[in-house]
Structure 1
Amino acid sequence: MPPVTEQWEDVLSTRFALGGSHPAVRAVAAFSAESGFFATAGREDEDGRQFFGGAAGQGDRHWESDTADAPVRAEMAALWRAGEETGRPPTLRLAGVVWHREELDRITDAVTGTELDLTLLRNGNRVMWAARTGHGICILVLVDGDNEGHAAEARSLALDFDSFLVGQGY
């Protein structure tokens, strides 16, 4: 595993407090198509990669490979398009699960003043937030359970992590 991936996995675990009791977040991922890094973290000792997987949902294929991640990159790009070409919301397939975009907001971070895209994804009663920063880094935050309080907290954590990224120069 590349050193930058190990570092980011530690940062994700720490920033999202995934080891605490009753965390709002079950797993998180951060990636940048431009720089090629990909990192995940899961709650407690759970492997976060199982929720985000590669293009075909295979745990051994990572977004660090140009060929493995091409379909996922294309689906991620579709999430950020404002227009609804087919009349249905865009979808994203991660680890064999299809997520449907429910909302898409362009917001200004109150702390940093930077703009970012934030979208709510849903698969049945499961919720995930996806945020894209101005520097092309995407953050995926899988909510633990179907608790609306957890969903709101996970959204706040995603925005907090964006502020952290800006503070780190990303």
Structure 2
Amino acid sequence: MSPATEQWEDVLSTRFALGGRNGAVRAVAAFSAEAGFFAVAGREGEDGRQYFGGVAGQGDRHSASDAADAPDQAEMAALWTAGQETGRPRTLRLAGAVWHRESLDRITDAVTGTELDLALLRDKNRSMWVVRTCQGICVFVLVDGDDEGHAAEARSLALDFDSFLVGQGY
């Protein structure tokens, strides 16, 4: 694992306070088209990579099937397409799960004033918020269960971390 990846994983864990057993957030990740998932953290020290598939640049820690299950650029681009041309909801495959996009909003970050794409994805009784920054970096925040309070908390955390990334120059 590269020092930069370790640093970002520490930032994710600290920023999201992923230590509480009853916390809303199960795992978080930062993704770029060039690097794939470059930082991932799970609750209580759990390896969050299992929820997001393969991670680029991680050596032999992950199998070829993990890498094949990570989203490619076309899948990520389709996630942000507003239209539903085929009549089916947009989907994204991560770690063996097919996530269906439930909503896609264009919002203005209250802190930075930047325009952001914000998508809510669902897989059975789990939800995940994905925020895309102006630099093409995405933040994924996974919530276990279908509790709307937890989903709202995860949405706030995703936007907060996006503001942090913008502040760091991403």
Query: What is the TM-score normalised by the length of structure 2?
Result: 0.88
Q: Counterpart of 1:12?
A: 12
2:109 is matched with: 109
Do the aligned partners of residues 2 and 68 (structure 1) sit closer, same or farther apart at CA in structure 2, a change above 3 Å counting?
A: farther
Q: Is the 8 A contact 1:109 1:115 kept in 2?
A: yes
Instruction: Quote the residue 1:99 is aligned against.
Output: 99
Equivalent residue letter for 1:145: G
Instruction: Name the counterpart of 2:58.
Output: none
Q: How far off its partner does 1:136 sit?
A: 0.4
Aligned 8 A contact 2:69 2:94 in 1? no
C-alpha contact (below 8 Å) 1:54/1:72 kept by paired residues: no
Report how far residue 100 of structure 1 moved: 0.2
Q: Which of residues 59, 62, 78 is equivalent to 1:60?
A: 62
2:78 and 2:68 map into 1 onto residues whose CA distance is: 18
The TM-score, its normalising length taken from structure 1, stands at: 0.88
Number of aligned residues: 164
Residue 145 of structure 1: CA displacement? 2.2
Residues of 1 paired with 2:35 and 2:49: CA distance?
A: 19
| Cα displacement (A) at 1:144 | 2.8
Structure 1: which amino acid aligns with 2:29?
A
Sort the Cα spacing of 1:146 and 1:112 in 2 relative to 1 into closer, same or farther, 3 A: same
Letter in 2 for 1:129: W
Q: Which residue number corresponds to residue 85 of structure 2?
A: 85
Q: In percent, how many aligned pairs have the same letter?
A: 80
2: CA distance between counterparts of 1:13 and 1:7?
Answer: 10
Distance of aligned partners of 1:131 and 1:61 in 2 relative to their CA distance in 1, 3 Å threshold: farther
Q: Distance in 2 between matches of 1:162 and 1:44?
A: 22
Instruction: Map 1:6-155; keep pairs closer than 5 Å.
Output: 6-34=6-34, 38-54=38-54, 60-61=62-63, 68=68, 71-155=71-155
> For residue 25 of structure 1, what is the amino acid of its counterpart?
V
The question of whether the paired residues in 2 share the 8 Å contact of 1:6 and 1:39 is answered with: yes
Contact 1:128 1:140 (8 Å CA) reproduced: yes
Q: In 2 relative to 1, CA 68–38 (structure 1 residues): closer, same or farther, beyond 3 Å?
A: farther
Supply the AA of the counterpart residue of 1:60.
H
Q: Which runs of 5+ in 1 are unaligned?
A: none
1:134 maps to amino acid: C
Shift of 1:72: 2.9
The alpha carbon displacement at 1:23 in A equals 1.2
CA RMSD of aligned residues (A): 2.2
Contact 2:70–2:94, Cα closer than 8 Å, also in 1: no
Distance in 1, matches of 2:62 and 2:87, equals 34
